[in-house]
Structure 1
């Protein structure tokens, strides 16, 4: 009788301790053993990746799903395909934009039904609006949301109107009582121009003012808060100072803010849809410096995929992030920490985000030396670029979901 359902071998397996040769034994969707590469292990199937790296699958935080003019189940299927092609094995869905927005137990159930049958794992964030009641939050929590999300502006989502300071503090207190986490889009609506779509109408000071409001509220309430997305590097000192005054404040950014300066995209690029907008090249470099600082409060990096405003980023985010990270001498361990381990720990997703015994067998085969050209016709902000990193295959709960995702 075979010992394992499958064994996946790689000479470059990213485990919590670093990168080493290993054979990963999988049974019933879980990693049951991590042994030396040459270990004799009986299995129904053995996959030998050779020098292709084996990483924990990415957990994409705040993924937008609903595309304009598309029914909800079709949107989930499309996101599932894009996620797996991009090395993402779990999407944590933003409550909006969407029809319906995930702001109560009934709308959560609509999304859960729509997501049923997708190959990628799907988790949900609950939306916090001016009209959200404590009962709504409790029902969403009981229904399975892994955290909550609110905004001080439009946040790119018209269903998530700006929270005032009073409602923000109350929501923080209610979420803290549930021992949960609040993700906040921190651009202050009062600092945005009209219409708030261009970089000029969404200046860095909007993010600074919003961050000051979030810190003030969290300091009073003591709630765990994750600013998402964080883009204005001039606010890094303010973010870091929050910890010094006892505020549990961390942040999330996206590969396009780390890879694409505002000077780069042409006039028709989808990158102009980003909210907050792309910042200057100087800001991009400073954002990297903040991310790479020891004990940086910028913990997580995710795609920022938001098809409702024309931002399709899931498929290329991992290669884009790796392209920029390797230029700075970073390792695949850093990549795995930002995209898998840190999101799992932030959300309390026990058993996810690591290649380790007892954890879910959510895995990615990643060719980190392969260079690919993103087609000029691609709907992502990376169209026309050459990126390093190719997702060769993924496994969700030990089940292979695709291979050779991007053909040379």
Structure 2
């Protein structure tokens, strides 16, 4: 057992007990003692005596997971707060078992491309966060000199696009700009996270527009991802830059990632719940709630993504929560805003498919908590272990529910999961030992703004 000496638990105010605690060494019965400062004091045997004066939260057969860490969230606040905001996004996250998120640098006004803009974002988020919130910086044309100040101000890394982002204030990097950004970020051993679609392949693809999903899928071909990632890993090897590939949807990317790692390139990659649980074959024409870029692809492609998660080629699963107002989801796939809202639903969506494919709760916790925290450098999160923050998601794995958009807490209740029956009901979420959500309802705001740990 870990940290089970009597002095490790003397005076703790809270113990959580579960028959299925998801721990770094596997799933087993355990009691988790929470210290007064909100960290985990000890992981004890399930039947360990409760210290005098401590509250016992006996979860029975409900699973105790580490709180999820979602490193890919577009909060859009300030500037486009009618799309989403820190109050609503973090409430939805808490209801879904997410206890930490990192906000993307675009779709807000101003974008997080200077240290001054970061300060504006923090001022808006402070006082609204139900969960812990950190920030990515942005790498855009002309801001290379801003990257080191942003790094020193505590962003977790820098996002760039290789093709148009969809908003004019966050342009893509051309090849020369990408090289300059990679060289600068490598100079302080920062992290570059990349939306990797090649603009030439996108421009060459047929762009019909209209309601047919097949036409939209043809407009975002797999080769656009494959070529972009191939170039990216070549540059990463040249400059020694740490690179993370965002929202992988194409199975053609997978052998490129595997080969780059074998050659020692410092590259990691993620995928998203919608790529793992939804398929092109099921998207109705005109149903632009399913639109995202890169797109949801065919079932055969999805099978390859699951295999890549299983063998470690893909590191983690994060939401890419990218909401908008309902009116921007027009029935035309060519003009509708691209983005899927899934903060509150990611855990049950992934668990539903994972269990069907023979994966366990430990796998889901690794993909959705431990790996994102490790890759982004979010310290004190991602595992139920002594010294970490007492952040937990409590899940009833066998229970099911049908997704009702009216019960979602993000600002605009549009979701590609409407009407789907999912396994895994999130009973509660805990942040530093305080219950922040209970049976799908946020109950307490305890979030803090977090920064990358100083070098």
TM-score band by shorter chain is: over 0.9
2:333 maps to which residue? none
Residues 172-200 of structure 1, C-alpha deviation per residue, up to 9 Å, x if partnerless? 12112222211101001111147697222
Shift of 1:316: 0.6
**Structure 2 CA distance, aligned partners of 1:353 and 1:324?**
22
Establish whether residue 164 from structure 1 lines up as the match of residue 193 from structure 2: no
Residues 305-332 of structure 1, C-alpha deviation per residue, up to 9 Å, x if partnerless? 0014452111111100000100111110
Shift of 1:74: 6.8
Shift of 1:277: 0.8
Structure 1 vs Structure 2 CA RMSD: 2.2
TM normalised by structure 2 equals 0.84
Residues 307-366 of structure 1, C-alpha deviation per residue, up to 9 Å, x if partnerless? 144521111111000001001111100000001101111122221100000101111111
**Structure 2 CA distance, aligned partners of 1:15 and 1:327?**
22
Residues 256-293 of structure 1, C-alpha deviation per residue, up to 9 Å, x if partnerless? 00111111122343443211011111111121122212
Q: Secondary structure at the match of 2:343?
A: coil
**Structure 1 CA distance, aligned partners of 2:121 and 2:77?**
14
**Structure 1 CA distance, aligned partners of 2:164 and 2:261?**
27
Establish whether residue 300 from structure 1 lines up as the match of residue 316 from structure 2: yes
Pick the aligned partner of 2:202 from 184, 192, 207: 192
Pick the aligned partner of 2:67 from 57, 80, 84: 57
**Structure 1 CA distance, aligned partners of 2:84 and 2:371?**
30
Establish whether residue 105 from structure 1 lines up as the match of residue 115 from structure 2: yes
Residues 60-84 of structure 1, C-alpha deviation per residue, up to 9 Å, x if partnerless? 0120111798538970001001101
Task: Note the residue ranges of structure 1 that are not aligned, 5 or more in a row.
Answer: none
1:9 maps to which residue? 17
CA gap of 1:361–1:158, structure 2 versus 1, over 3 A, is farther
**Structure 2 CA distance, aligned partners of 1:278 and 1:334?**
23
Establish whether residue 379 from structure 1 lines up as the match of residue 394 from structure 2: no
**Structure 1 CA distance, aligned partners of 2:167 and 2:342?**
17
1:241 maps to which residue? 259
More contact order relative to length (CA 8 Å, sep ≥ 6): 2
2:345 maps to which residue? 316
**Structure 2 CA distance, aligned partners of 1:396 and 1:113?**
21
CA gap of 1:64–1:73, structure 2 versus 1, over 3 A, is closer
**Structure 1 CA distance, aligned partners of 2:392 and 2:89?**
18
Establish whether residue 36 from structure 1 lines up as the match of residue 52 from structure 2: no
CA gap of 1:376–1:400, structure 2 versus 1, over 3 A, is closer
Which of 234-243 and 79-88 deviates more?
A: 234-243
2:330 maps to which residue? none
1:129 maps to which residue? 140
**Structure 1 CA distance, aligned partners of 2:434 and 2:97?**
14
Shift of 1:383: 1.0
**Structure 1 CA distance, aligned partners of 2:314 and 2:208?**
26
**Structure 2 CA distance, aligned partners of 1:69 and 1:123?**
18
1:120 maps to which residue? 131
Task: Note the residue ranges of structure 2 that are not aligned, 5 or more in a row.
Answer: 1-8, 210-215, 325-336, 407-412, 443-455
Shift of 1:160: 2.8
Residues 6-26 of structure 1, C-alpha deviation per residue, up to 9 Å, x if partnerless? 111111000100011111111
Does the 8 Å contact 1:390/1:406 carry over to 2?
no
1:18 maps to which residue? 26
Q: Secondary structure at the match of 2:17?
A: strand
1:327 maps to which residue? 356
Pick the aligned partner of 2:381 from 352, 356, 363: 352
**Structure 2 CA distance, aligned partners of 1:219 and 1:52?**
45
Which of 310-319 and 202-211 deviates more?
A: 310-319
Pick the aligned partner of 1:395 from 426, 430, 434: 430
Which of 379-388 and 242-251 deviates more?
A: 242-251
Does the 8 Å contact 2:78/2:109 carry over to 1?
no
TM normalised by structure 1 equals 0.94
Q: Secondary structure at the match of 1:263?
A: helix
